[in-house]
Structure 1
Amino acid sequence: MKPYVKLGESKMSDGTVFSLHKHDGKFYLKYNGFDLMSTALTFSEEMLAEVGCQEILEGKATRPKHPKVLIGGLGLGFTLKRTLELVGRPATVEVAELMEPLIEWNRTFLVEHNGPLLEDKRTMIIQGDLFNTISGKPKSSYDVLLLDIDNTPDDLITAGNARLYSASFLAKIRDLIKPDGCVAYWLSEPAPKFKKCLVQAGFRVEEHSAKPHEKSKRARHCIYVAKRSR
């Protein structure tokens, strides 16, 4: 049996430990010793980009001349890779990633899987918390926000992420998107309470079931696409 090889490890200020491993040609990101994501299961993260960017890709008449997308959470780069494939050129895809070593792992180890995504001229990496990243941004800054940060609002990756689901933050991201733009959330499972919060914040919400793998029998993940309701 082929062993798991640890390529890197990083400990957050709250004690959370992330580590990157390679096994049988695949990469695995672990969170406190448990698998968080891997290059073996990329379907739902790619789907996040597809359903989120759908609105700006559907018609040439309404397509922005220079799409601007913000991704919250770099992960192993699956959503960024698919977004770059979809938006074409010219475009700007900003990525806010809290964990600096994860950015470095994407520049080094993960190039083997995804290619040099971070060297693409359309990619802008912002090392920092999403909350702080957007705090000074003006209204209508983005066509699309793609957020893949926590499993659900009730299952946070780091405790500080709780503020990303407050009423004031949801109001902020509603203002950040253009009138015909959207915010898309990747969730490990449906979160009805959060869906209600989005509606209360002035969004119309579409729910999409998402499989971990294209051939999976069950779609256990969920993507919420939120658009301005007024």
Structure 2
Amino acid sequence: MEYVEVARAETERGELVLRERREDGAPGALELRANGVFVMDTVETSTELALADAALAVVEQPREVLVGGLGLGFTMHQVLADSRVERCSVIEIEPVLAEWMRDGTIPHGPALLADERARLVVADVADAVAEAPDASYDLVLLDVDNGPEQLVHATNEALYRAPFLREVQRSLRPGGVLVVWSAEASRDLERALTEVFGGSETVAHDVRLQERDEQYWLHLARVASAG
């Protein structure tokens, strides 16, 4: 296995690297790493697709969707595949990652962003949610880490605590849903979601990741429907 660096950048939060895995010199999967930690690649995308599908399945009319975390764009792609979605706003804190998506460094990026329903915003997701008007979204999907126990950046810990979750609740329409993707089931997150939303659901999802059987988790919480 050979790794060929495609792009590298130093950001306020550390180092981002986009590299290609090759066997026998043939072009292969793109892989994104943050501060040396594997984030995702273009081969095993079932986790991103599951995040989108699980959320879309529990909302009758997911017209306005917010995705926290761009990654390599697969969650956004799956959201936009649903014809009910009128707008998908993706919030990404790293300007360089957004630029790689826009300029084709991530080859499938320009085609994804050509969808007129896609809106890529460079911002901290906490700020974006706090600035959103009340009842802005039908869905909020958080995929900025591998869950509260596996943070990409230490400051992301606040995203799994009650103050931020209250801002998410405020930004959701009646019947709206928050879905958080996690590599582990988190009792602390379950308690925080229950405190804010009055209840939560934790759903296991089996995936095949780099020739290993893994189990990931979706944490869901819903705003009560009107009436």
What TM-score does the superposition give when structure 1 sets the normalisation length? 0.87
Cα contact 2:49–2:75 (8 A) shared by 1 = yes
Q: Which moved more, 1:205-214 or 1:151-160?
A: 205-214
Q: Which runs of 5+ in 1 are unaligned?
A: 58-62
**Structure 1's 56 and 229: CA in aligned 2 closer, same or farther, altered over 3 A?**
closer
Matched, 1:111 2:110: no
Superposed CA offset, 1:61-81 (max 9, x none): xx36xx000000000111001
What amino acid is the match of 2:68? G
1:162 equivalent among 151, 157, 161: 157
Instruction: Tell me, yes or no, if the aligned pair for 2:179 and 2:218 is still in contact at 8 Å.
Output: yes
> Which aligned runs of 4 or more in structure 1 are off by greater than 6 angstroms?
214-217
Alpha-carbon offset, residue 168 of structure 1? 1.4
Alignment partner, residue 5 of structure 2: 6
One-letter amino acid of the counterpart of residue 9, structure 1: R
CA-to-partner distance for each residue in 1:14-69, whole Å, 9 max, x for gaps?
4x211100113211001222322111110011010001111235xxxxx36xx000
Range with greater deviation from structure 2 (71-80 or 103-112): 103-112
The reply to whether residue 134 of structure 1 matches residue 129 of structure 2 is yes
RMSD after superposition: 2.2
Q: Per chain length, whose mean CA-contact separation is higher, i.e. which structure has more relative contact order (CA < 8 Å, sep 6+)?
A: 1
| Residue number among 60, 68, 81 corresponding to 1:85 in the alignment | 81
* SS of structure 2 residue aligned to 1:138: coil
Match of 1:194 among 172, 177, 189: 189
Aligned-partner SS, 2:191 = helix
Identity of aligned residues (%): 29
> CA 1:203–1:110 in 2, change beyond 3 Å: closer, same or farther?
farther
Match of 1:60 in 2: none
* CA 1:171–1:89: 2 relative to 1, 3 Å: closer
Alpha-carbon offset, residue 194 of structure 1: 1.0
The match for 2:30 is 27
CA contact (8 A) 1:111 1:117 kept: no
CA contact (8 A) 2:149 2:184 kept: no
2:72 matched to 1:76? yes
Partner of 1:42: 45
Give 1:229 deviation, angstroms. 5.5
AA in 2 matched with 1:191: S
Following the alignment from structure 2 to structure 1, what is the Cα–Cα distance between the partners of residues 164 and 84? Answer: 30
Q: What one-letter code is carried by the residue in structure 2 that aligns with 1:50? A: D
Contact 2:90/2:121 (<8 A) preserved: yes
Residue 157 of structure 2 aligns with an amino acid whose one-letter code is A
Q: Which amino acid aligns with 2:77?
A: K
In the TM superposition, what is the alpha-carbon distance from 1:214 to its structure 2 partner? Answer: 8.6
TM-score, structure 2 length as denominator?
0.88
Who is 2:25 aligned against?
Answer: none
